[in-house]
Each structure stands twice: as structure tokens, then as C-alpha cells.
Chains A and B, each alone.
Chain A
Amino acid sequence: QVQLQESGPGLVKPSETLSVTCDVSGYYISSDYCWGWVRQPPGKGLEWIGSIYHSGSTYYNPSLKSRVTISVDTSKNQFFLKLSSVTAADTAFYYCARQGESGYDRLEYWGQGILVTVSS
């Protein structure tokens, strides 16, 4: 059973960098699939942020590309999201997920999500 769990600071100051880690269990990231991030402002809809292959190839939402970095550590079976220069508009639930085989694909397994609030 594939399971994903997000972790990280729940509060980030404006202009700083948001960092979230996704721990994966039940499947080796290094085996296959693409691993993605999605966010959802409280009470609003879903926004795909980007994804990464186990090899390290990345795919980003063009609207966020200049501020996003997604990376992977296969030895720890983790992948990571960094979003720089955050503002209040970046306050959201951040979900990690296992996608299908493609950089842009359905999201098959999801973490429970972590709320990150941007505030001074």
C-alpha cells in the first residue's frame, strides 16, 4: 500500500521560502512513476505545482516555475518542495502525490496534506 506523508513548518514569513517534505512508504521512489505536488487554498480549488521523476527530471506549472524547486532523495525515499518569495496568496494545503508514469498525469495516491500559512 503506497502511503505519502507531508511534513514541514506550518507558518512561513512573507518573502521567505516555503519547504515541505514528502515521505513515501510502501513503494520505492527509485522504481518508477512521477511524484507531484498540488496545493489548495482553504475553501478553494486545486492547483498543480509540479512533479519530478526518480531520475530527477522536473516539470513545473508555468505560473509558478520561477519560484518552485522540486527535488528527490531516493536514499531516504523522500521528495521535496521549495517555494520562494512567498506571499499570503501562497497560504494553502500542500499535498504530495504519486502521479502516473508521465510528468503530467493523473494523481493516484495522495498524502493527507499540510496547511502552510504565510504570515508575519
Chain B
Amino acid sequence: DIQMTQSPSTLSASVGDRVTITCRASQNINSWLAWYQQKPGKAPKLLIYKASLQTGVPSRFSGSGSGTEFTLTINSLQPDDFATYYCQQYNTYSTFGQGTKVEIK
């Protein structure tokens, strides 16, 4: 099984901050990685796929990385961005990271 480890688990930030979330894979997944945003009581929403390709989300969301280390960056955090973020590998089967909660500082 490919394990996905996100860090940090919780992140406290203020509106306007630049936020970076890291996702590490236990083995090489090339660029087969997606990022999702989930708000309480809602389904996850796809933000980024193939590590860096956007899905029509605001341009402040960007993804980078390949192999085993990946990052999701949110430039100038907005009030609507406080949520939990998950990474997902889909190189071999599919597994998710444990999530990173972005909360208001």
C-alpha cells in the first residue's frame, strides 16, 4: 500500500497569509496526485490534479511536486478557504492523506 502523510495536521493562519501544506508518499507516485478542499457537512471539492493542474479554482491555489513530495500553496488566504484539505494519490489504487485543517488564527 502507498501511504500518504500530510503535514501539518492543523494549521492556524490569518486572512491574507500564504499557506503551504505538504503531502509525502511512501513511494514514487510520479505526478498522480490530487488535492481536495472539504468544508463541514459537504463533499470534498477537487482543487488540483496531476500535482499542478487546476480545475477552475481561484488562482491563489497552486500545487507542485513529483515523485514523493508535494505541496499545496494558498496565496493570500481568504475567509472561504478555512477548511480541511486532503491529498490523494492515484498512481496505484487510490489513497488519501489524513487531512490538514486550516483554521482561523
Contact = CB atoms under 8 A, between A and B. Distances in A.
A1 to B, nearest CB: 13
B93 A61 contact: yes
A108 B55 contact: yes
Interface majority SS on B: helix, strand, loop or mixed? loop
A106 B88 contact: yes
Contacts of A61: 93-94
Interface residues of B, number: 24
Contacts, number: 57
Interface of A: 38, 45-48, 59, 61-63, 95, 97, 100, 102, 104-108, 110-113
Closest 9 CB pairs of A and B: A110-B43, A48-B94, A106-B49, A106-B34, A46-B96, A104-B90, A104-B94, A45-B98, A45-B99
Interface string B52-74: 00010000000000000000000
B18 interface: no
A99 to B, nearest CB: 8
